[in-house]
Amino acid sequence: MASFRFFRPESLSQLLEHKKKEGRKAHILDGGSNVLVYVKEGTIEGGTLVDVRRLKALKGIAVKNGQVEIGAGEVIADILASPVIRREARFFAEALEQFANALVRNMATLAGNIADSSPIGDTIPPLLVLEAKGVAASQKGQRVVPLADFFTGPGSNVLKPDEVITKIRFPLPGKGRGRFLKFGLRRGTSCSVASVAVWVRSTARKIEEARIALGGVAPTPRRAPLTEAMLKGKKPDAQTVESIASRVEHEISPISDVRATAEYRRQVTGKLLAKALRHALGLEE
């Protein structure tokens, strides 16, 4: 096993100073649900484990200036239980209920799932349809990055070596309904074969807005703008949903691996999208 040092900053300024000094050799340790696995596997080759679990600057869930703000150090279980999230972004709370199991939800952080940048990160498609942004900080200052522009490939993103995520924010959802669905090979802790998140705003006569995000079917989680555009203005009925949902396969590039073939992922994604849209449009009630 590689050699590691340990550092526990007492403030955000100390954390950013250390990141400037060590860059990617400084591995942020909060819940540890991913980092500690990588250490055991040897994926991370030495450096410093930077324990930020007690850092108050990375905590907090609140509504500010029309935005829901979640501190990078908040674990999934606490976000789920937050009255703010339950009241202002219930769709997101419902999506988080499908994240792993209770043990992992008590360890894993939202920012950690984003920073891990897995194509199958379960928190990411719901955040994409909520048009979320991440706040990245360094000693040079901070910048706000839309999650739609954050991911560059499997396990990679636009974070600079001296940056850390300090919070995630998204606009108050307002009118509309959302749904997140994932398909795995077993219940509980299974990784997603594919996942779909939708957010729609509609009247009885037409779909006024549709946002769709997909996981597990491309090198990064991504929106489906062509399918979104096809839905806009259409009548919100089952026939429309079935016809357009099947076309999402033209916007994805899945791979075959131990969990599923590329063709299976294509079929599953279309089915998941149709079901999610039916629910969000009230067609299954």
Give the CATH fold of the 56-171 domain: 3.30.465
The widest CA-to-CA distance across the chain, in whole angstroms, is 63
Q: What integer pLDDT is reported at residue 189 of this predicted model?
A: 56
Q: What is the DSSP track for 197-218?
A: EEEEEE-SS-EEEEEEEEESSS
The radius of gyration of the chain from alpha carbons, rounded to an integer in Å, stands at 19
Q: What integer pLDDT is reported at residue 187 of this predicted model?
A: 56
Please give the C-alpha separations between residue 54 and each of 8, 37, 99, in angstroms, as whole numbers.
9, 21, 23
Are 207 and 233 spatial neighbours (Cβ–Cβ below 8 Å)? yes
Residue whose pair of structure tokens reads 């062509």 in the numeric block: 226
Strand 26-29 to 47-51 pairing: parallel
pLDDT, one tens digit for every residue, the chain (285 residues): 578 999 999 999 999 999 999 999 999 999 888 888 888 888 888 899 999 999 999 999 999 999 999 999 999 999 999 999 999 999 999 999 999 889 999 999 999 999 999 999 999 999 999 999 999 999 999 999 999 999 999 999 999 999 999 999 999 999 999 999 999 875 555 688 999 999 999 999 999 999 999 999 999 999 999 999 999 999 999 999 999 999 999 999 999 998 899 999 999 999 999 999 999 999 975
- Whether domain 4-51 has CATH 3.30.43: the reply is yes
**CATH for the 177-280 domain, from 3.30.390.50, 3.40.50.12280, 3.40.50.300, 3.40.190.10:** 3.30.390.50
This prediction has a pTM of 0.96
Residue type, 174: G
Please give the C-alpha separations between residue 117 and each of 97, 101, 111, 131, 215, in angstroms, as whole numbers.
20, 20, 10, 17, 11
Instruction: Locate the domains of the chain by residue range.
Output: 4-51, 56-171, 177-280
Q: How far apart are CA 239 and CA 29, in angstroms?
A: 48
How far separated are the first and last CA of the chain, in Å rounded? Answer: 54
Q: How far apart are CA 161 and CA 18, in angstroms?
A: 11
Q: Is 180 exposed, middle or buried (0-12, 13-18, 19+ CB in 10 A)?
A: buried
Residue whose pair of structure tokens reads 């920073």 in the numeric block: 115
Residues 6 or more apart whose Cβ sits within 8 Å of residue 40: 1
Q: How far apart are CA 18 and CA 21, in angstroms?
A: 5
